[in-house]
Structure 1
Amino acid sequence: MNVPSDTPAGRWSRRRLTLLGALLAVVVAAVVTLVLTTGTDDEPSPAAAGSGAATSTPAAPTPAAPSAAAPTSVAPVAVTPEPTGPTADADEPPASLVPVALDQPAAVGNGITAEVVALEGIDATAVGPGNVSGPALRVTVRITNGTAGPVPLGGVAVDLASGPELVPASPVGDASAAPFTGTVAAGATAEGTYVFSIAPADRGEVTLSVGYQAGAPILVFTGSAA
């Protein structure tokens, strides 16, 4: 039986259909939500999976054992022997040894000794410019080499002075002068002759100085040459 739609009964039928449609939509939505929720609960979430796994903490690195220090190579220290002759400092004047008598030998202390073997008053004849002829002393010195090796004599220095003030006497290039030259072998002796201009009145006290090598201690002889 058809009910007119504009009657109260018709209007109620349309309302009931609308309510049934809305109810059906709610049911369908509920079913879909249930299905989606059930599928999601079956799979563990990444957070849940991560919470179930054992967490491994990386081990701290073990410090390396200190290596033994390599031995340091120490260069050998050269030992400088004590000087036996000339002084090491060229700017420092050589020391003068204790004076001895003119007729006594003098020793350096390293094997070298010296002595005055002749002391003569002469009239010197000057040879060469700057030399003056006249009264002079001719001195002959002997050097003995008591060392283990040859000793050069080219640097021997012989000087003469007079009086307590040690007034220097000038050397004279007399023909009889024969200074030290060459070398003296171990255990051997050598002689050198020197001439100095000095008046007879000044010979009461003379001082003769002999340096056998540059920088070596000075051998000193003193006494009367009158």
Structure 2
Amino acid sequence: MVEAHDEKKPARSRTWIVLSVLIAVIALAVAAAFIVPPLLAPSGQPTPSGSPSATPTVPPRDIVGTDAPRPSATPSPAPSASDSPFAELTPVAPDATVVTADRIDISLSRIEAVQGEAALAGETSGPAIRVTVRLVNEGSDPLDLEYVTVNAYSGKDRTPAGTLTQPGGAPFEGSLAPGDSAEGVYLFTVPESDRKDVTVTVDYLLGAQVAVFRGDLR
């Protein structure tokens, strides 16, 4: 009888070990039920009222818009400062229209003050102007808009302005058939303190003289 009693001890110990492990597993499962759900909560849930909100955007302000007064008569082609290829035409006011020798009407249909947003490498956020360039093809041949280049400068020395794509940039693309018009939107980083003398150039055709708009854009 003594030997039989001794053989049951290991079996009894194993039973207690199994029960202890099961109890531990159940305890861990209960704890996980309270801890894991908060960690997996969707990130899109409303944040507490005390959390910081997104930086407010600055609404655009028109400098020169579609309602601005424009010349009552169609202006003649702007006089050229030089007859050499790639030369610039004599500057005109920002609200004027340039009629080129190729019968392309060029105007700045809208100029707005906006808060520029850096979206691409090399761009810098900050105060900017958003320029809408309007082209009207009064000639007899289509105009390839892929080659249109718009630049901006500030001051008498024409310091180049940085370029941006947001908010709302939409460069020219495609082709402009005779009799049609198109608009392209370009953004430039020009601080408000430098907008007293701003130059905008529009190179609309390879080898043609460049249209130049210059004036106060404050």
Q: Does the TM-score normalized on the shorter chain lie above 0.5?
A: yes
1:43-82 CA-partner distances (Å, limit 9, x unpaired): xxxxxxxxxxxxxxxxxxxxxxxxxxxxxxxxxxxxxxxx
Percent identical residues: 38
Q: Is the 8 A contact 2:116 2:126 kept in 1?
A: yes
Distance 1:125 1:99 in 2: 29
Partner of 2:9: none
Partner of 1:177: 169
Partner of 2:183: 191
What amino acid is aligned across from residue 197 of structure 2 in structure 1? E
Q: Is the 8 A contact 2:85 2:208 kept in 1?
A: no
What amino acid is aligned across from residue 159 of structure 1 in structure 2? N
The partner residue of 1:148 within 129, 140, 149 is 140
Q: Is the 8 A contact 1:159 1:208 kept in 2?
A: yes
Partner of 2:200: 208
The partner residue of 1:125 within 106, 114, 117 is 117
- Tell me the matched-pair count: 135
1:144-169 CA-partner distances (Å, limit 9, x unpaired): 10111211100001000011111110
Distance 1:139 1:210 in 2: 11
Give the direction of change, closer, same or farther, for the CA distance of 1:193–1:186 in structure 2 (3 Å limit).
same
Alpha carbon RMSD of aligned pairs, Å? 1.1
Do residues 159 (structure 1) and 151 (structure 2) align? yes
What amino acid is aligned across from residue 223 of structure 1 in structure 2? G
Return the offset for 1:93. Answer: 5.2
Max Rg structure? 1
Q: Is the 8 A contact 1:127 1:175 kept in 2?
A: no
Distance 1:103 1:131 in 2: 28
Distance 2:192 2:116 in 1: 13
Could you tell me which runs of 5 or more consecutive residues in structure 1 were left unpaired when the two chains were aligned. Answer: 1-91
Q: Is the 8 A contact 2:145 2:173 kept in 1?
A: yes
Partner of 1:8: none
Distance 1:206 1:101 in 2: 10
Distance 1:116 1:152 in 2: 19
Partner of 2:87: 95
Return the offset for 1:109. Answer: 1.4
Return the offset for 1:202. Answer: 0.2
Q: Give runs of aligned pairs for residues 1-226 of structure 1, distance below 5 A.
A: 94-226=86-218
Return the offset for 1:175. Answer: 3.8
Instruction: Provide the secondary structure at the position in 1 that maps to 2:136.
Output: strand
Partner of 2:42: none
Return the offset for 1:111. Answer: 0.8
- TM-score (norm. length: structure 2): 0.60
Instruction: Provide the secondary structure at the position in 2 that maps to 1:154.
Output: helix
1:161-213 CA-partner distances (Å, limit 9, x unpaired): 01111111011121410000001110110000000011000001101100101
- TM-score (norm. length: structure 1): 0.58
**Which 4+ stretches in 1 moved above 3 angstroms?**
none
